[in-house]
Amino acid sequence: MARTISFELTDKVVVVTGAGRGIGKSIALIAAEYGADLALGSRNVAEIEEVAAECRALGRRAEAWSLDVSKVASIRAFVDKTLETFGRIDVLVNNAGYNTPKPALEYTEEEFDYISDVNFKGAFFMSTMVAQSMIERGIEGSIITISSQVGVVGGPLRSIYSAAKGAVGQFTRSLAAEWAPHKITVNAVAPTFTRTPLLEAAIKNPSFAKNLEKVPMGRIAEPEEIAGAVIYLASPAARMVTGQILCVDGGFTAV
């Protein structure tokens, strides 16, 4: 066994969903800096085209295609296109997410379905379709899903989102055990409040904004800090890490 610890992703094909902004954009750019080629997915193709161009400027191959993770047919088309273009997928980062913070008594069935579909169903079917490609090609891959601190401990105004992210934690553990014989690692990263457009919209609600005071480190996270955890889990340094939820939460879940 090599003694050198490596975080390099040179020539690995990395898929990032929801890659047009915030955490997803940071993951894509830092993965490119570490040598990865990128397949980027989002409903907003114009945004991910810009991110892909930045990755290419770093000397990496990068493609951007439409992806709606709430629809299984869209997931299938995206995975097929990635395999057709790159020939393989080494790392999947399920980053796409959605939430509408509000009291539980006010949610509609349509809101329940959409929040669940994006955060839970989409991540599950992205994972299974990519894992199938890894198993068929004998790839010792990595699957990483962006969860949330409230998927670990829950939180007011986020009942559906918390439940969906809690489900992410459970399928992470289950799939890790199921796919370990194929040498596929499955992990999740649970961020605290992170500087993203989604957070900026959420904190306009004064009731939600009060939650920021609960972070022991006394600040919100930067997208790059979440990306660092993802790069670790995707790298050779983490090949014995699987079935874990890595909280990058400034101590939120510790108190």
Catalytic residue IDs: 161
Give the ranges where the chain is alpha helix by DSSP (H).
Answer: 22-33, 45-57, 72-86, 109-116, 122-137, 150-153, 159-179, 197-202, 206-209, 223-234
Whose CA is closest to 243, among 170, 157, 136, 135? Answer: 170
- Using only the alpha carbons of the chain, give its radius of gyration: 17
Q: Which residue has the tokens 């929801």?
A: 18
Question: CA neighbours within 13 Å on the CB side: how many for 219?
Answer: 5
By the 8 A CB rule, do 239 and 185 touch?
yes
